[in-house]
Each structure stands twice: as structure tokens, then as C-alpha cells.
A and B are shown apart, each in its own frame.
Chain A
């Protein structure tokens, strides 16, 4: 039972990270109808800048995290302005390919900045583990990750539902032309969405790198698992991103915990593909996900 809870918490933490990356996907998809494949690269950037501000500029950890979030948000906004704004009105596939190009460029930049070594984000938790309720173990960093994710989702949710700008963003995602006619600066909303997604990716980078894991440029491929998450939760649903993230994270953690007994049937390291298998099944059964809006085809 204790082992089960330990695995569950580990899964929730991993899932929280996926959820954070997925939230960036959702925010951008809602605003611009683009799936942003560059999101994982932004995540790596977030971890890099956290480490940079922490180690090179000696900022306190929380300040470093906030600064990194701000910088990555800016990278997001600039990418939108330079690469994505000219794609407005183009087919969604072209825009998605532009983000793939962006992904390549950002990954190379990250490669250049980080090199081949693993960098630590300089979090104060390290490898600390807390033991409670008998024998349930939890990494302190995991606890922070789970908590921060809830805070981030709450903040984004409140911003979207309660603030004037959030209202404008929702109007944009509903219908760009109507929003434009109502005096919403649609272009600014696009930029803002990308900035928000960048900020979330920055935070995700910190969460991923904390707890002694560290980040290297190939971590971007781990963050790609946010794609199964958004398919499971629904491309345009924040709630879906959160719940989907947790489901995928927990499923992965349990497969990893039972890897030994599974390896005879499906091979080792099957936990790496479990998210994608779930995604394939969801796409077959319910392509718009648990909470997504079903696609309406006009004839």
C-alpha cells in the first residue's frame, strides 16, 4: 500500500510537469488554433535561464525562477511576432510546421547554451525525501512541483475568467473576427498567449530540473509527452490538460514500477511509450479528448 502511494505521488509529480507543458499548448491552441511543437524547447530554455540566473548571477532561487519565466515568456512573444504572425490565415498545418522549424532553432540554441552536460537548476530541495504516514516516501521537489502546478493552473484559470484581458483572450479564441470588431487587439492577444505559454514552459523547466534530475537539451523529447496529454484532455481545455497530465503521469509511473514483470511481454522501458499508446487509443475512440470541443465539420 505504501509503495503504491509512493508510486502514485511520483506519478502525480511527473504528471504535473506534463500538465504545465500541456497548459502552454492549450493556451496557444485556444488563441491561435496552432499546435505549438516548439513548447518543449521553450521548457528547456526555462530550465537553462533558471540555472543561469541562479548560478551565474547568484540570484535567490525564487527570483531566478521568476526572472527565467519572464525571459522565456519574452522568447515566446518574440517567436510569435516573428514567425507565427505572418502565418495568420494560413492552413493550420503550415503554422504547425513553422513551430517545428522554431523547435529546431530553439533546440540548437539550447544545445549551444547548455552543451552536452546536464545542468542543475539550483533548486534548494536537491535529493531530499520526506517520509510520512507510515512509510510513504515523497521527494520534496515533487511536492513543490505538484503544488506549484496547482497554483499556476489556478492563476491562469482566474486570469482567463475574471480579468478584462482574460475575457478578451477568450473572445479571441471564440471568434477572431468578431473579437476584432468588438475592439479587441487580436494580435496582442496572440502575443500574450504565447507569452503565457512561454511562462508556463519556463516554470515547467524548473519543475522538471528540480529534485536532482537536471536538464539537458534532449529533455525536450520528454516534454513532447505533453502531446498525448492534450489529446487525452482535449486540445482546447485547460481542465483537460491538468487531468490528462495527471492521468498520463500516473499511468507512466505505474508501468515503470511494474516494468520488471512487464518486460517479458512488451520489453523493457515500456513506460516511455505508454503515453503514446494511450494517445493512439484516445485518437481512435474519442479524437477530441475528454474535455475538448468536438470538431464540427461544415459541408
Chain B
């Protein structure tokens, strides 16, 4: 457990330098993911809460939290390519769809005109990520030819072309408006979305799936964080900050971009496959441009080029509808239904808030919620001598 890849700083330091939490004597300790006692304590408490909480929550709140975990995986993927490597991608929804439909193809038994292989989750989940990654790797060399806004427009085109492909490959996707059932998360004959008795304890399906997604998020999140501080991650940052300078310094430009796209697509594929389970039935229309915009909003609101920011942003975007809904009881001018006499319906208010938040964060705090947190933290760190 040496070098920058350790999660926790070395034990020796903790003993000898008690009371001096920010004095690092080793590179490894400085680079550790949880490099201060406060971070370690906070992470432990958060993990404990997340393990306990599903047993006390309603089914729908559990589902909401699970959705947060799943979208976080997708947001981390987008943040790797857009935040860390600086390659703006509006094509994330396409890779999500790719993962979802690959999972549905691999995980379902063939029915009628729909093809299927009837595999279990341990096969379809990684494969859906890998298929998305493979397609990402194929598209990336093309995307590596253009930069900035041109790339954004190119990936936008990708979404529309992908949408067409999803709609036309009816034997795989069921076609527009009809769709197909998502793959069931069955591992070793155990359906993780149904009530199961494990070791004599009866556990509800939503709780099981909650833990599955939480574990996946932890693994993929830590992996992404480690990637970001590895040689690959530093080359991402170099390409983002100045691609020509990076190339001059010996960072292979095309290869770095291809790697970024491939890994990002892998995350998107996994996210899509898991999300499909929550949707129940998936149609090609699920994976349109607006989904891509949602994910971009997550990383913009949460914080560009931060893993924790991606998670916070995903939580924010997923939980906001619920918050807005509970606002309807307080604010008289918002109606629950579609039309109504009120000024705005819930959906409309939510959409407007969403757009306004993107604009607001970009204008006022480009580092997102993570940046806000940094401000708060730095204020209290030096309190009462803050300035």
C-alpha cells in the first residue's frame, strides 16, 4: 500500500503526526483520496448512512436513491470525457441507449419478433458496458478530428443518427413507441429486483437493487477517481487545457481522446443498462437529445472535472422533481396537473428551474455545487479569521 494509489494515507503518519492533519511527509499520503481526517470521517458516516437508510425508507424513495446512484455512474462517465479531457459530448444519451438495448438483447429470452439471448446479469451488465465502449472507440477517432463547438455539434448529430438506428433495428429494440422489456437483473437464478430470502433474512427487491447500484457506483467512482490521478488522467487534463501544448510535450492526442471516449462510453453503457431496469420498459425515445442535456446539466451543476461533483449533480437533477413537487403544497401558483388554472404546472416549473440553474451556475459559479462547497469549506476552515 504505497504510492499514490492508496485510498488512505499510511498508518505511520497518522500516529506520529497527530494534531497536524495537513502535514504530509509522503507523496502517497498527499495524493490519497481521503487525505484529511475530516474527509475520512465524513466518508465513513456517509457510507454508514447509505447502508442503513434503505431499510427505513419507502419504496419510491429507495427507487429515487437508486436512480441517483445509477445516473451518478453516467455523470461520472460524461465528466471523464467532458470535464477531465475537455471533449464536450452531447452524444452521451446514445451510449446510454446502446447499453440499455444491449442489456435488453442479452438479458431477455427471445419473444415473438424480438431477439434475445437470455443471459444472466453477470454477463449482460459488463457486456453492455463493453459494447458501448467498443462503439465509443469506433466513433472517437472521428470525434478526435474536431474540437470545441464543432465536437458538440458532431456528437449532437450522433444522437440523432443513433435515435434513427434504435428506431429501425426493431428486432433488437422493439421499434419506436413500442420498445421492449428491460433485462431482469438475475444473478445465479436470483432476481435482484424481487423480494428474496438471503441467509434466512427476507429483503425487498428495491433494497437489493439499491445495494447493487451503490456497490457499482463505489467501484466505478473510485476507479474513475484513480484514473483521474494516474498518467492517463494527467494526459486528459493536458489535452483539455491546451491540446497543442500537450501534443508538443509528447501526449498522444488522438489516443488520449479515444481512451477518454471509450471509458466514458463504458460508464454510459453500464448506466443505461442499470437505468433500463428501473424504467421497466425502454423505448428508443428514452434516449434523445434531452437526456444528453440532462447529463451535461448534472456535471455543470455538480462541478466540472470532479467525481464527487458528478454525484452531487446527479443527485440534484434526479431529486429536483421531487423537491419541486413538494413545493406545490406551499406555493399556490403551481398546479399538480397538466393544465389547471394555476400559473405553472410541476413539469413546467421544473423545466424552467432546470434551464435557469444551468444558466445561473455557468454565470455565477462555473465550478458548480462543488465550487460552492469549496467556498463554504474555506470560509469555515479559517473561521474566525476568514476574509
A interface residues with partner B (beta carbon < 8 Å): 35, 83, 86-87, 90, 92-94, 96-98, 100-105, 107-109, 111-112, 115, 221, 224, 227-228, 231, 235, 266-270, 272-273, 276-277, 279-280, 283-284, 287, 297, 299
Contacts and interface: CB of A to CB of B under 8 A. Distances in A.
Given A87-B362, A90-B362, A112-B348, A101 B146 contact: no
A272 B159 CA distance: 12
B353 to A, nearest CB: 9
B203 interface: no
Given A94-B366, A97-B296, A283 B356 contact: no
Tell me what chain A mostly uses at the interface: helix, strand, loop, or mixed. helix
Interface string B267-309: 0000000000000000000000100010011001000000000
Contacts of B154: 279-280, 283
Contacts of A277: 157, 161
8 closest cross-chain pairs (CB), A and B: A267-B168, A104-B355, A101-B358, A105-B355, A108-B351, A276-B157, A101-B359, A101-B355
Given A35-B153, A87-B362, A273 B356 contact: no
B152 interface: yes
A93 B88 contact: yes
A227 B156 contact: yes
A115 B347 CA distance: 13
Most A Cβ at <10 Å: residue of B167, B289, B300, B359: B359
A98 B358 contact: yes
A283 B146 CA distance: 7
A105 B148 contact: no
B160 A102 contact: no
B379 interface: no
Most B Cβ at <10 Å: residue of A92, A101, A267: A101
A276 B348 contact: no
Contacts of B356: 101, 105
Contacts of A287: 145-146, 150
Contacts of B146: 283, 287
Nearest to A228: B157
A161 B357 CA distance: 39
B148 A92 contact: yes
B98 to A, nearest CB: 16
B157 A279 contact: yes
Interface in B137-158: 142, 145-146, 148-150, 152-154, 156-158
Contacts of A90: 362, 366
B211 interface: no
B339 interface: yes
Contacts of A101: 297, 354-359, 362
B164 interface: yes
